[in-house]
Amino acid sequence: MSTAIMRAASVALALGMGVSTLVGAGPASAAALDWRCTMGSHSTNPPIGTSYTNWVVGQRTNGGGSGPWAINWTRRYWLTEENYLSGGVTKQRFLNTSVAACEFSLGLSSVTELTPQGATEQPPCTAPGDYIQAEGGDIMAYRFIGERTSPGALGIYRKYRFWHKERQSSPGSWSYQASSVAVCLLPRAGG
């Protein structure tokens, strides 16, 4: 099968998975990949406008198929903070969370903004690591990616915990289902 047909099938597969924005390029063409696929944590400092700090929280790779049909999406999880001046001091406050789906061998990427969900005292906030639960007759694994504490409005800090959900299709075989972020209240000092 031609490389062009394989790329088209890969793009169709990616679109069928609910990918929000897709950028295509030839194999190993990293120039077309979104910056969230190619950079590490960093700050921007434009001469005019708002500066941001972008934090890589973690990543996970899921393969799909084998041989010429192998598609390996790496999902990189991000938290972005807005930098601002207060009393002559640069401070940061939470802005958003996102996940970048990166397929390096085909030069494809997409970015989806994640809306943090309140989950204080629930497994997404309390689990020390990965956990598994049954959902609708399927076995789902929640893979812990990482966490970051960030100040929000009025300087109130919250913990953001990032999750990569996978479904077991057969023993030992897992496929990506969704990405999520839990926002967790931090315990108050002194009780």
Give tens-digit pLDDT for 101-159. Answer: 999 888 889 999 999 999 988 999 999 999 999 999 999 999 999 999 999 877 789 99
Say how far apart CA 183 and CA 115 lie, in whole Å.
9
- Find all residues with CB under 8 Å of 91, minimum gap 6, and list them: 83, 84, 85, 151
Global pTM reads: 0.78
Indicate if the pLDDT at residue 25 is higher than 50: no
Q: What is the pLDDT of residue 29?
A: 43
Q: What is the pLDDT of residue 141?
A: 95
Q: What is the pLDDT of residue 183?
A: 96
Q: What is the pLDDT of residue 147?
A: 97
In a domain, 64, yes or no: yes
Range of the domain at 119: 3-185
In a domain, 191, yes or no: no
Do the beta carbons of residue 44 and residue 55 sit within 8 Å? Answer: no
Q: What is the pLDDT of residue 17?
A: 35
In a domain, 13, yes or no: yes
Task: Please tell me the total count of domains within the chain.
Answer: 1
Mean pLDDT value of segment 38-54: 92
In a domain, 108, yes or no: yes
In a domain, 190, yes or no: no
